[in-house]
Amino acid sequence: MLDKVIQDWDKAAKLYSEFEAASKYAAFCREFITNYFFDIKNKNVLDAGCGNGEHTHILSQRGGHVVGCDGSVEMLKLAKFKYQSYRFDHVNLLNRIPYQNNEFDIVLCNLVLMDIDPVDNAISEFYRILKNDGTFFFSIVHPAFYQAVWERNEEGVALSKKVSGYITSKAVQQTFWGNTMHYHRPISYYFNKISDAGFSLKNMFEPKVYEEEKIPDIPLYLFAEFIKR
């Protein structure tokens, strides 16, 4: 199953990158992370699941010593082509990852945990490679609303979302940029797994993304920062 998941991302790499470049929602993520990590000069950073390298670039521009890693060879080809001066490693987050204990100050995992199964190894490995008091920052599409269906009025204006099947975890095939797997899990699943690994929650954010579209207060993303204790 793992090979199939990675193969799907290899096939989707180009279309996904084109989508990300044009998407105002992806731009929101980049801006949020840029502002959040406004001062990371000389910090050792792992961009885990770096994709095409956009966030590796952002964090490097902020002064971090950044390593990007991903399981998709095709994603890494795009990253290395665009950002030739950065380090990108081919790493499967379901296995032991090739970094030393206490090596990093920050691990960023942007829109990745929702696409791998299981997440236990990745989370425990992030804990291992982080320094004490190091930061684990992750984002996912908001589990409560991502799969929910927009309800619109007669003019087509979005008024609300109809939520169903939130608690039960399930695998969902997506077709936005080719066939890729999405793993729906409730928020409690992620927070309990991360807490069980030894992390402590510092901040959680459910930012307004749809403001320009004048639609309800419904978040698209969930961001959270945990600290290694």
The amino acid at residue 144 is: A
Beta strands in the chain (DSSP E): 44-48, 65-70, 87-90, 104-110, 130-141, 149-152, 158-162, 170-174, 180-184, 199-205, 221-228
Domains of the chain: 2-142+185-228 (3.40.50.150)
> What is residue 2's predicted lDDT score, i.e. its pLDDT?
65
Write the CA distances from 59 to 42, 82, 85, 98, 117, integer angstroms: 11, 15, 14, 21, 26
The amino acid at residue 209 is: V
Report pLDDT digits (tens) over 182-220: 999 999 999 999 999 999 999 999 999 987 777 778 999
In the block, which residue shows the tokens 């299981």?
Answer: 118
> What is residue 157's predicted lDDT score, i.e. its pLDDT?
85
Report pLDDT digits (tens) over 93-102: 999 999 999 9
> What is residue 1's predicted lDDT score, i.e. its pLDDT?
59
Nearest to 144 by CA among 175, 167, 126: 167
Q: How far apart are CA 19 and CA 23, in angstroms?
A: 6
> What is residue 191's predicted lDDT score, i.e. its pLDDT?
98
Structure tokens at 192: 């309990």
pTM comes to 0.96
∠ CA(46), CA(102), CA(205), 5° rounding?
50
Q: How does DSSP assign 180-218, residue by residue? A: EEEEE--HHHHHHHHHHTTEEEEEEE-----GGGT--S-
Q: Are 74 and 16 in contact (CB under 8 A)?
A: no
